[in-house]
Amino acid sequence: MSARSPFRPSFGSNPPLVVGRDAVLDEVADALDGPAGSAGRAALITGNRGIGKTVVLNEAEALARERSWLVLSETATTGLLDRMTTDGLPELADLLRQSPASRPRVSGISLPAGLGGVELDLPEERGPGGLRRQLNALTEVLDQHGTGIMITLDEVHARAARDDVGQLAAVVQHAFREERPVAFAAAGLPAAVQDLLTADVSTFLRRARRFVLEPLSPVAAEEALRVPIRENGREVADAEVATMAAATQGYPYLVQVIGDRAWRQEPGAPTITADHVERGVREAIREAGFALHEPAVNDLSETDRQFIAAMAADRHESAISDIQQRLGRDHGYVSRYRSRLIVAGVVEPSRRGYLRFTIPYLADFLRERADYL
Ligand SMILES: Nc1ncnc2c1ncn2[C@@H]1O[C@H](COP(=O)(O)OP(=O)(O)OP(=O)(O)O)[C@@H](O)[C@H]1O
Ligand SMILES: [Mg+2]
C-alpha cells in the first residue's frame, strides 16, 4: 500500500485530480481546435487567491501540448518582454531546429511529435518589435506543421510589469489579426485585473474571453478528496469525505491541505477515520494560518489591518456602517480603504453595504491572533 499522500498542498502545483473546471477547459480546447485568430483563443481567468488560477493555466498548457503545440509559460514580473525575447522564444526555436531523431530536452520540454529539424532564423532583437518579429518567424514554421504556440501569463495584474503586459498584449493582438496560430491565456486576481483593464490601453485583453473561477461545489470538493484517497489504496467513508469537503468551503487550496493532513494522521492505516479527519481539519486550518492568512495580512498597511480587524467580529459579513462606527471614521475614509482591500483581493462586497472576506477562515485567524495585527 502506498503511504504517500497524493495531495498537493502548495500553490501552483497540480492536484492529483482537477475538479470543477470543465467549462473553462472545454472552451480552451474548442478554441485550440477552432480557427486561428478567433476570440476564444484569448482567455482571461480571474479568481480569488488559491482558487486554482495557476492550475487552470497548467491544464490549458497541457491541452495545447496534447495538440503538439509549443508552450511558453510566463509570469508578469519585471523583465517579462526581455525574458521572452532572450530566453523563452529562442529556446523554443532551438527546440524546433533539433533533429527529430535526437530528441534531447531543453529545460524539461520535449519536442512535439512531427516537429524538428526545421530551418529557422530568429531575429536577435529585444523590445516589442523584437517580440513581434520572433513570434512571426516561429508561427510561420508552426503554421506549416499545423500546430501553434500557446503563451500563458500568470499574475497578469502585477503592477511591476504593467508596461510589458500591455506591449505583449499588443503583439499577441497583431498575431491574432494576422490569423497566426497563437493562443493566449492570462490569470490574475479579479479586482486587480479590473484595475489593469481600466488603465490599460490594450483593447485586446478587454476583449478576451473572461472566466471567473468560483469556489468548488460540495460535490466537486468531495470528488477531489474521495478519488485520490481511494485510488491510492485507502478507504474513507462518505460521511468523512463530506465533513472534509464542508470544511474546505469549496476552496481548492483547502481541499489539498485538508486531504493531505487527514491522510498523514496515520498513513499506514487502511482507512481514514473520523478521528483522522477531525485532527486533519484542525491542522489544516492552522496550516492555512501560516500559508494563507499571515502572508495576506503581511501585505497590508497598518490602516488596512485596522479595517479588517474591525470586520473580524462579524460571522459571515460586515455592514459598512458597523465598520465605520467601530473605526470611528467618516464614510470617505472607510470607502477608500474598502476599495483598496477589494483590489488587494482580501475582501469582496457580499451585497449592497456589506463586505466579506474572500479567504476562508481569515476572520477566525484574526480573532484568534489579535497579537498578529
Ligand atoms: N480544480 C482543482 N481541484 C483540486 N485542487 C485544486 C484545483 N485547483 C487548484 N487546486 C489546488 O489548490 C491550490 C491552489 O491552486 P493555485 O495555485 O492554482 O491557485 P491560484 O488561484 O493560482 O492562487 P494564487 O492566487 O495564490 O496564485 C493548489 O494546492 C492546487 O493543487
Ligand atoms: Mg497562482
Strand pairing of 70-75 and 149-154? parallel
Which-ligand-closest: CA of 49? 1
What are 320-353's pLDDT values in tens digits? 999 999 999 999 999 999 999 998 889 999 999 9
Q: What is the dihedral of CA 91, 96, 101, 103, to 10 degrees?
A: 30
Segments making up each domain of the chain, as ranges: 22-212, 219-296, 300-372
Asked if residue 39 lies in contact with residue 184, where contact means CB atoms within 8 angstroms, the answer is no
Q: Which CATH architecture has domain 219-296?
A: Orthogonal Bundle (1.10)
Question: For residue 2, what pLDDT is reported?
Answer: 58
- Per DSSP, 372 falls in state G
Q: Which fold has domain 22-212?
A: Rossmann fold (3.40.50)
- Between CA 317 and CA 314 the distance in angstroms is 6
Beta-strand ranges (E) seen in 26-148 are 42-46, 70-75
**Cell digits of residue 160:** 511591476
CATH topology of domain 300-372: Arc Repressor Mutant, subunit A (1.10.10)
pLDDT average, residue stretch 176-188: 96
Is residue 183 scored above 90 in pLDDT? Answer: yes
> What residues flank ligand 1, with Cβ below 6 Å?
8-13, 15, 18-21, 47, 49-55, 224, 252-253, 255-256
d(CA 318, CA 188): 26
Separation of alpha carbons 109 and 32, rounded Å: 20
pLDDT digit string, tens, across residues 49-65: 889 999 999 999 999 99
Q: Write down the pLDDT at residue 299.
A: 82
- Bridge partners of 43, per DSSP, are 185, 209
Which of 55, 156, 219, 223 has the most ligand 1 atoms within 8 A of CB, as the residue to mutate?
Answer: 55
Q: Which of these, 236, 88, 231, 77, lies nearest to 149 by C-alpha position? A: 88
What separation, in Å, do the N-terminal and C-terminal C-alpha atoms of the chain show?
Answer: 45
* C-alpha–C-alpha distance, residues 18 and 56, integer Å: 9
Q: 220 alpha carbon to ligand 1 midpoint, in Å?
A: 14
Q: Is residue 263 classed as helix, strand or coil in its secondary structure?
A: helix
